[in-house]
Every structure is written in C-alpha cells, then in structure tokens.
Structure 1
C-alpha cells in the first residue's frame, strides 16, 4: 500500500507541477546547440520514479537543465519509435509480451540486463561527457552539470 501511495504521489506531482522542458526521443539526433541529458528508465523502476520526483521538485536544478541542456527521457521497455543518433538507427526489439529498445541496450554497460536509471550526457560535439548507471545521490546531478558547464568555458 505504501508503494502505491508513493507511486501516486510521484505521478501526480509529475503531471501537475513541472515546467521541466522535455524533448522526445525522436528529437535526439536533431538537437545540437546544447548538450543532451538522456535519461533511460523503466516504469517499474521505483528508484527512477523517486529520482524523477526529486529532480522536478528541485527548482534550481530544473532551471539549470532548461537553460543549458536538452533533457530527453527514453522508457527502455515502452519506447517503440526508432531513434536515430550519431548516424545509427536504434529500434525496439520485441520478445513476445515485452521488449527492450536497442538504444537502452547500446548505452548500457551491462548488455544482458541493463541497470536503471541510465544517465548519459552528450556534448554538442557528440562526445560523451558523463555516464552513470543508477541514481544520482542528492545534489550530485547539479554538481555534475555545473562542472560540465565550467569545463566547457
């Protein structure tokens, strides 16, 4: 019951309060003027839901993301559209009643069983700036993003 209440709070807060600008997975290959923050997650991942809640409630972090990055979320097991990124096409691979998007598998270090969430930050030149499997500790994401901005200058 506690999990159900937590999921409801996370979902209702996400739907009602956020101004975090999100871009679709279809736009990944088209965005070049700011670095990309790609969040690969699953609906069943409670850590992903809690982390998402913490991010959208952190107004300074939302502002930092909106002004300096493109935030893209990819649901690893439900994103069905093809993703074109760095001259490669990634597709959803069904295995009966479920499946996994090749994009999630390609960017996971554990190819057999990806660990969620996966955070990937790609610079405007297409190079990997930061990779992380698992959640950020409280305040860590903001530090990483600010450090990347400082290193860019």
Structure 2
C-alpha cells in the first residue's frame, strides 16, 4: 500500500496538471481565446526532460499554464501532420524539424526545448530556446496576465 501511495504522489503532478490536447485546443480556442504557450520538445532532449520535471513539480506554475493559457506540448520532430486551428502542417522529408516548428522559427539550427508564446490574436509575443529557469518562468507568466 505504501508503494502505491508513493507512486500516486510521484505521478500526481503529471496526471493532475496535463497540457491541453491539440484537438481540444482547436475546438475551444474560437469560443474562448486566450494566450497560447507552445512547448516544443524532442524525445532525445535531456534539457527538455529537466524542464518538464521542473515544471511538473511546481503545481503553481502548471495551474497558471493550464488556467490562464492554452498550454500545448508538441514533439518538434513528430512524423504526424499537425492541425493548428484552420491550418494543417505536414511533415517534410528534407527537415528533421516539423513544419509547424519552422512556421514560428525559421532557423536551420533549433535548440530544444523551444517555447513560443502567442496572444489571443495569434501574434508572437516571445520565442525562447533552451532551459528556462523557474524564477524566469514565473516572471514570464506574471507578465502574461
């Protein structure tokens, strides 16, 4: 029983504070527009794993991400088409990065994690590459409100 309890406590931040799916986002955005925070990661990115652990272990940050914005977590090297509102982004064989990533970041060399912040009108408010420390992340979120 103790093992089950410990496992639930360990997993609670991940289960309790999940990002919104693209499908739910696409269905909800027009009726309830708000800031969009897109977090691009890759499966091999060690810094991404550190960033996620830092975020998921901070319920106050995840609450702001989920309550006051649409928080989208997307694999930047996905091999699947991505539907973002009324636009479809396809995989291009000549690039490691998905065309959806390159829609926001045209550089040939992209560092992950990559954060894109859009306002309600889909204007880019900010682009951030690499690890964002928790103190800076909190400051960034406070500026979005």
TM-score of the two chains, using structure 2 as the length reference: 0.78
Match of 1:133 in 2: 129
Q: Which residue is 1:5 aligned to?
A: none
Please tell me whether residue 36 in structure 1 is matched to residue 33 in structure 2: no
Is the CA contact (8 Å cut-off) linking 2:81 and 2:90 kept in structure 1? Answer: yes
Q: Which consecutive residues of structure 2, in runs of 5 or more, have no partner in the other structure?
A: 1-6
Q: Residue in 1 aligned with 2:19?
A: 22
Distance in structure 1 (CA, Å) of the matches to 2:90 and 2:23? 11
1:39–1:120 Cα contact (<8 Å) kept: yes
Corresponding residue SS for 1:124: coil
2:90 alignment partner in structure 1: 91
Aligned to 1:135, the other structure's residue is in SS state coil
5+ long unaligned stretches in structure 1:
1-11
Change in CA separation of 1:29 and 1:141 when aligned onto 2, cut-off 3 Å: same
40-49 or 126-135: bigger deviation: 126-135
1:120 alignment partner in structure 2 = 116
- Cα deviation 1:100-147 (Å, max 9, x = unaligned): 31011222242x221111101111121112211112123211110111
The alpha-carbon deviation at position 28 of structure 1 amounts to 5.0
Describe the SS at the equivalent of 1:38. Answer: strand
CA deviation after TM superposition for structure 1 residue 56, in Å: 0.5
Structure 1 residue ranges, 4+ long, deviating more than 6 angstroms after superposition: none
**Larger RCO: 1 or 2 (CA < 8 Å, sep 6+):** 2
